[in-house]
């Protein structure tokens, strides 16, 4: 019988890799808290309607990529493909937006049925922040500042590059969409296959095309900046001024539109050349109409970002700057009378904050020492019948030759502290 393997594009994260993930996650959480964002934990499964109404039925995500199924009650459910819509749904359901502002963050797995490749998986991980209730460009600048601090917090030698744009208001987007369709219709037969399809469903996504021929055609396309309303233009100019104040370098990319229907005004991406084709590490922007679109009684201004943890972890792992977490103590017990005592000593050391691994089962001193050496422990605690009868313990420094002491058991914690400091 063949063994069962993981679903294609849904990867195991093994213990050695988990250490990098934990480091990245901890840095992110610390930075989010620094800016007073609070964690919200969201369901992995939502009603399909949520994403159809928020992301847009014409988007590739909803039309092609979501994992959607009917439950036993005949209700259409989907694995979440992104976090913003769920965050808005939760805020509406629990009254978080009623006469309040909110700064929220989340982290966890998302799901899209895409062709698996480096940096793009069917189960992938995102961390994101969402800020609700602020209409001005200052909150956009704060959201970008949070993401900028992440690169410094992770000590990336080469930070991703920031690209920004403005989509204006709903009328701007509609006007630009019409102009873009009119222009591209003259070149429809010369567009790549995906772009020809998007011309009818989501034409702004054509600007993201990686096809060289399509990009050549787009060089003569109208610019969205020419369609911006006066208020959106002033908002964008103020954001640029704030970023300059914060010493955050940026490039204006007029082809940057983002793939989700709910964005308006500010959009941005952090991109890198270190990950091949999947260059976007973090992306976001403003979505002032989404709360109302999902049933809110009023328009609530909102902005945020999501970053791809898989890609970020790959960047950090390539630096090889995260040392392996050393095990503090490996406990070795020889003889029939030693097991109970060894458990007591192990628990005492854990109470004092040490990481302790115990040898379980039967084994000779030689085999247990081999296990201790393989574990990477700094110190081994050896307990034989002589130590039990004399109420003592033997500590062996695993990184220094012939560094072994037998001491009274009452001095265990003090002696271990000295050995760890050496």
Of the segments 140-149, 193-202, 263-272, which one has the largest average pLDDT value? 140-149
pLDDT at 306: 94
The answer to whether the CB of 242 falls within 8 A of the CB of 137 is yes
| pLDDT greater than 70 at residue 323 | no
Local confidence band at 378 (pLDDT 50, 70, 90 cut-offs): confident
**Where do we find the tokens 């964690």?**
39
| pLDDT greater than 90 at residue 183 | no
Q: What mean pLDDT is predicted for residues 112-118? A: 84
Local confidence band at 303 (pLDDT 50, 70, 90 cut-offs): very high
Q: Give SS3 for 400.
A: coil
pLDDT at 204: 78
pLDDT at 258: 66
Average pLDDT, the chain: 87
Q: What is the pLDDT of residues 90-110, one digit of tens each?
A: 999 999 998 899 999 999 999
CA distance 116 to 400: 47
Q: Which fold has domain 329-421?
A: Rossmann fold (3.40.50)
Local confidence band at 374 (pLDDT 50, 70, 90 cut-offs): confident
**b/e burial code for range 136-152 (CB count within 10 A of at least 16 → b):** ebebbbbbbebbbbbbe
The answer to whether the CB of 106 falls within 8 A of the CB of 87 is yes
| pLDDT greater than 80 at residue 208 | no
In three-state form (DSSP H/G/I as H, E/B as E, the rest C), the secondary structure along 129-179 is: EEEECCCCHHHHHHHHHHHHHHHHHCCCCCCCEEEEEECCCHHHHHHHHHH
CA 87 to chain CA centroid, Å, is 15
| pLDDT greater than 90 at residue 284 | yes
| pLDDT greater than 90 at residue 35 | yes
Local confidence band at 190 (pLDDT 50, 70, 90 cut-offs): confident
Local confidence band at 277 (pLDDT 50, 70, 90 cut-offs): low
pTM: 0.83
Q: What mean pLDDT is predicted for residues 185-209? A: 81
Burial, 114: exposed, middle or buried (Cβ in 10 Å; 0-12, 13-18, 19+)?
middle
| pLDDT greater than 90 at residue 246 | yes
Percent of the chain scoring above 70 in pLDDT: 96
Local confidence band at 58 (pLDDT 50, 70, 90 cut-offs): low
Local confidence band at 315 (pLDDT 50, 70, 90 cut-offs): confident
Q: What mean pLDDT is predicted for residues 124-130? A: 96
pLDDT at 128: 96
| pLDDT greater than 80 at residue 119 | no
The answer to whether the CB of 133 falls within 8 A of the CB of 97 is yes
CA distance 311 to 118: 9
Local confidence band at 325 (pLDDT 50, 70, 90 cut-offs): low
pLDDT at 318: 78
pLDDT at 267: 92
Closest C-alpha to 124, from 278, 9, 275, 282: 9
User: What are the tokens at 271?
Assistant: 């991109």
| pLDDT greater than 90 at residue 126 | yes
| E strand segments, 336-390 | 356-358, 379-383
pLDDT at 272: 87
Local confidence band at 324 (pLDDT 50, 70, 90 cut-offs): low
Query: What residues does each domain of the chain span?
Result: 15-169+229-319, 329-421
CATH of domain 15-169+229-319: 3.30.930.10
């Amino acid at each position: 019988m063949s063994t069962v393997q993981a679903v294609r594009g849904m990867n195991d994260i093994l213990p050695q890799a988990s250490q990098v993930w934990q480091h990245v996650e901890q840095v992110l959480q610390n930075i989010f808290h620094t800016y007073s964002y609070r964690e919200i934990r969201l369901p992995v499964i939502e009603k399909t309607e949520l994403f159809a109404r928020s992301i847009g039925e014409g988007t590739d995500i909803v039309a092609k990529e979501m994992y959607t199924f009917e439950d036993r009650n005949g209700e259409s459910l989907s694995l979440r493909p992104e976090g913003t819509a769920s965050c808005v749904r939760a805020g509406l359901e629990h009254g978080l937006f009623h006469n309040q502002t909110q700064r929220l963050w989340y982290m966890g797995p998302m799901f899209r049925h895409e062709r698996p490749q480096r940096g793009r998986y069917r189960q992938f991980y995102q961390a994101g922040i969402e800020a609700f209730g602020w209409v001005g460009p200052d909150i956009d600048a704060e959201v970008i500042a949070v993401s900028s601090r992440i690169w410094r917090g992770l000590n990336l030698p080469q930070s991703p590059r920031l690209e920004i744009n403005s989509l204006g208001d709903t009328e701007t987007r509609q006007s630009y969409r019409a102009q873009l369709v009119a222009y591209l219709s003259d070149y429809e037969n010369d567009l790549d296959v995906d772009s020809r399809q998007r011309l009818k469903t989501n034409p702004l996504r054509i600007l993201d095309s990686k096809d060289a021929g399509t990009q050549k055609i787009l060089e003569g396309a109208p610019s969205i900046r020419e369609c911006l309303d006066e208020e959106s233009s002033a908002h964008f100019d103020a954001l640029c001024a704030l970023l300059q104040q914060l010493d955050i370098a940026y490039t204006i990319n007029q082809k940057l539109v983002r793939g989700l229907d709910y964005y308006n005004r500010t959009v941005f991406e952090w991109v890198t050349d270190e990950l091949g084709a999947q260059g976007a590490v973090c992306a976001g922007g403003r979505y002032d109409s989404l709360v109302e679109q999902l049933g809110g009684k009023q328009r609530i201004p909102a902005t945020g970002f999501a970053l791809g943890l898989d890609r970020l972890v790959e960047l950090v792992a390539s630096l090889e700057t995260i040392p392996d977490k050393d095990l503090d103590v490996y406990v070795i017990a020889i003889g029939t009378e030693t097991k109970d005592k060894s458990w007591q000593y192990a628990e005492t050391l854990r109470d004092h904050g040490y990481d302790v691994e115990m040898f379980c089962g039967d084994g000779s001193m030689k085999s247990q020492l081999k296990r201790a050496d393989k574990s990477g422990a700094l110190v081994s605690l050896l307990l034989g019948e002589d130590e039990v009868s004399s109420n003592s313990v033997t500590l062996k420094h695993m990184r220094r030759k012939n560094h072994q002491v037998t001491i009274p058991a009452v001095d265990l914690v003090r002696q271990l502290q000295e050995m760890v400091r050496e």
